[in-house]
């Protein structure tokens, strides 16, 4: 199959490289010329483990190319994927569809022969209808089908997720389009991945419902963690106890500082807005958003409490800035709420992240960025673990104690065992554990 991928970001680049690795011929298109130039030079614009090797291999073998304009790739394509951003619209929290609409308009101008237009971006229910209307307006003669195919990959494990997904959801009633989609994902049939064909609107809603559910699950265990703290229970024991029940499942039951990232916050909000417009409010998700927002602010107070209640004039070393490990993505990372809240309480912050520093510099002010974890804790009154990068899991606690002004650790990811850290003479606070 010949594939054009419009938008070469976290989703488009991974999807494009993986489709090429399945044996298809893929052109990844992005209007960001700098990004395309770097990709052509073999430099990855994002950090995603294994992506550089996968891209290099498929470029070398002639299945993957990059372009700044859609014309040629779309003309030749069996399937054109829309994988552009759908950020929260300023002011009202609805998904901003301007990039999707622009991409549809552009595609329509170039398509030739039967073309399947596949929406991979996360888009509100009914967007497929809008894309179809745009194409019909620009090219009344076009022979095309508009399909919804939401992406469920996780940053940091994106390649494995794309190649071994729990399921693929394809929303279309068009039999010719189904055939193209079956062919595109054929390698996954061999692994017996469930490919779920649904109506287009059901597919669009499936993505939002999945993300909102996961955000809710995280928020649930976070509230249970608070209760554990109040009652002297251990959230990790409770999470294991409930997670072994197959009806609940053990994933996404790790208590922490509140969810963030490029998807959950914006998608939960967009679902709430869509539901309100449809006069069918989705209260559980609204509450989830409110509880999560409050939680991130509460984390600064938790740090203050661990340091005796007063942050004025104190120096804090923060380890981890990205919203999760193994990515450089800083979009809506909890650090962007928690660090300013610490500063507002009077603390000075120094910080280190293995991949997020470049982006963090543009988003956080008055932070002293350091080159390594030990540099980030030199002379501090407390260390705060904010993202559970592997390299923070086995820090040399004795060395840390010598470097720090006071041995206080606030572990917002429950990376360490309380008794181990305390045995090294630290005052140790974590989430939902005595």
Nearer to ligand NAD, 83 or 205 (CB): 83
Note whether 7 binds ligand NAD by CB under 6 A. Answer: yes
Among positions 103-142, residues that touch ligand NAD (CB under 6 A) are: 103, 106, 121-122
Write the binding mask 218 to 237 for ligand NAD: x where contact by CB under 6 A, - elsewhere: --------------------
Note whether 9 binds ligand NAD by CB under 6 A. Answer: yes
Which of residues 168, 180, 255, 263 is near ligand NAD by CB under 6 A?
263
- Total residues found in the chain within this entry: 434
44: left (phi over 0), alpha (psi -120 to 50) or beta: beta
Among positions 366-395, residues that touch ligand NAD (CB under 6 A) are: none
CB of 81 to ligand NAD, least distance (A): 10
Contact 234/228 with Cβ under 8 angstroms?
yes
Radius of gyration of the CA atoms of the chain, in A: 23
Among positions 238-257, residues that touch ligand NAD (CB under 6 A) are: none
Q: 3-class SS at 67?
A: strand
CB of 153 to ligand NAD, least distance (A): 5
Burial of residue 243, with CB atoms counted within 10 A of its CB: 0-12 exposed, 13-18 middle, 19 or more buried: middle
Note whether 151 binds ligand NAD by CB under 6 A. Answer: yes
Which of residues 6, 67, 268, 408 is near ligand NAD by CB under 6 A?
6
Quote the CA–CA distance of 164 and 242 in Å, as a whole number: 26
**Position of tokens 């061999």?**
190
Nearer to ligand NAD, 155 or 411 (CB): 155
Nearer to ligand NAD, 10 or 392 (CB): 10
CB of 6 to ligand NAD, least distance (A): 5
Return the exposure string of 99-112: e unless at least 16 CB atoms fall within 10 Å of the residue's CB, then b.
bbbebbebbbebbe
Nearer to ligand NAD, 35 or 295 (CB): 35
Helix axes 127-138, 98-110, angle to 10 degrees: 40
Active site annotation includes 263: yes
CB of 176 to ligand NAD, least distance (A): 25
Contacts of 81 (CB under 8 A, 6+ apart): 3, 4, 5, 6, 12, 15, 16, 118, 119, 120, 149
Contacts of 252 (CB under 8 A, 6+ apart): 214, 217, 218, 221
Quote the CA–CA distance of 233 and 287 in Å, as a whole number: 24
Note whether 10 binds ligand NAD by CB under 6 A. Answer: yes
Nearer to ligand NAD, 107 or 228 (CB): 107
Write the binding mask 64 to 103 for ligand NAD: x where contact by CB under 6 A, - elsewhere: -------------------xxxx------------x--xx
- Which parts of 66-199 fold into alpha helices (H)? 71-76, 98-110, 127-138, 158-163, 175-184, 186-190
CB of 21 to ligand NAD, least distance (A): 18
Nearer to ligand NAD, 151 or 353 (CB): 151
Check 18, 28, 144, 263 and give the catalytic one.
263
Sign of CA dihedral 423, 429, 430, 434: positive
Note whether 31 binds ligand NAD by CB under 6 A. Answer: yes
Q: 3-class SS at 116?
A: strand
CB of 370 to ligand NAD, least distance (A): 27
Nearer to ligand NAD, 106 or 348 (CB): 106
Contact 7/103 with Cβ under 8 angstroms?
yes
With CB atoms as reference, the residue minimizing the distance to ligand NAD is 9
Nearer to ligand NAD, 12 or 93 (CB): 12
Which of residues 20, 27, 28, 29 is near ligand NAD by CB under 6 A?
29
Catalog residues that contact ligand NAD under the rule CB under 6 A: 6-12, 29-32, 35, 83-86, 99, 102-103, 106, 121-122, 151, 153, 155, 262-263
Residues identified as active-site = 263
């Amino acid at each position: 199959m010949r594939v054009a991928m419009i938008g070469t970001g976290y989703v488009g680049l991974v999807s494009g490289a993986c489709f090429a690795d399945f044996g298809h011929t893929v052109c990844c298109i992005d209007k960001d010329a700098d990004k395309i130039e770097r990709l052509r030079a073999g430099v990855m614009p994002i950090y995603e483990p294994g992506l550089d090797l996968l891209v290099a291999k498929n470029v070398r073998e002639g299945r993957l190319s990059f372009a700044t304009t859609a014309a040629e790739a779309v003309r030749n394509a069996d399937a054109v994927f829309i994988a552009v951003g759908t950020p929260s619209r300023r002011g009202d929290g609805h998904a901003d569809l301007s990039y999707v609409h622009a991409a549809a308009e552009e595609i329509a101008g170039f398509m030739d022969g039967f073309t399947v237009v596949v929406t991979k971006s996360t888009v509100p229910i009914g967007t497929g209808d809008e894309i179809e209307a745009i194409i019909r307006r620009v090219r009344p003669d076009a022979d095309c089908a508009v399909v919804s195919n939401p992406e469920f990959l996780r940053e940091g494990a994106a390649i494995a997720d794309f190649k071994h997904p729990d399921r693929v959801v394809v929303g279309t009633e068009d039999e010719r389009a189904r055939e193209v989609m079956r062919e595109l994902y054929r390698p996954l049939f061999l692994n017996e991945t469930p490919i779920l064909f649904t109506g287009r609107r059901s597919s669009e809603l499936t993505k939002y419902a999945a993300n909102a559910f996961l955000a809710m699950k995280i928020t649930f265990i976070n509230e249970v963690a608070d209760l554990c703290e109040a009652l002297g229970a251990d959230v990790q024991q409770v999470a294991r106890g409930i997670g072994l029940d197959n009806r609940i499942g053990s994933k996404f039951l790790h208590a922490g500082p509140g969810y963030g990232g490029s998807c959950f916050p914006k998608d939960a909000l967009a679902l709430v807005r869509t539901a309100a417009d449809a006069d069918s409010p989705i209260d559980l998700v609204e509450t989830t958003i409110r509880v999560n927002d409050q939680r991130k602010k509460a984390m600064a107070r938790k740090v203050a409490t661990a340091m005796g209640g007063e942050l004025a004039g104190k120096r804090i070393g923060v380890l981890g800035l990205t919203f999760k490990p193994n990515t450089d993505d800083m979009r809506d990372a909890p650090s962007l709420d928690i660090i300013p809240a610490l500063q507002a309480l009077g603390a000075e912050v120094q910080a280190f992240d293995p991949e997020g520093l470049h982006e963090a510099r543009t988003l956080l002010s008055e932070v002293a960025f350091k080159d390594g974890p030990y540099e980030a804790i030199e002379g501090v009154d407390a260390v705060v673990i904010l993202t559970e990068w592997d390299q923070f899991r086995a820090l040399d606690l004795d060395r840390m104690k010598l470097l720090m002004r006071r041995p206080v650790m606030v572990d917002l990811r429950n990376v360490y065992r309380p008794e181990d850290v305390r045995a090294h003479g630290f005052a140790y606070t974590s989430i939902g554990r005595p």
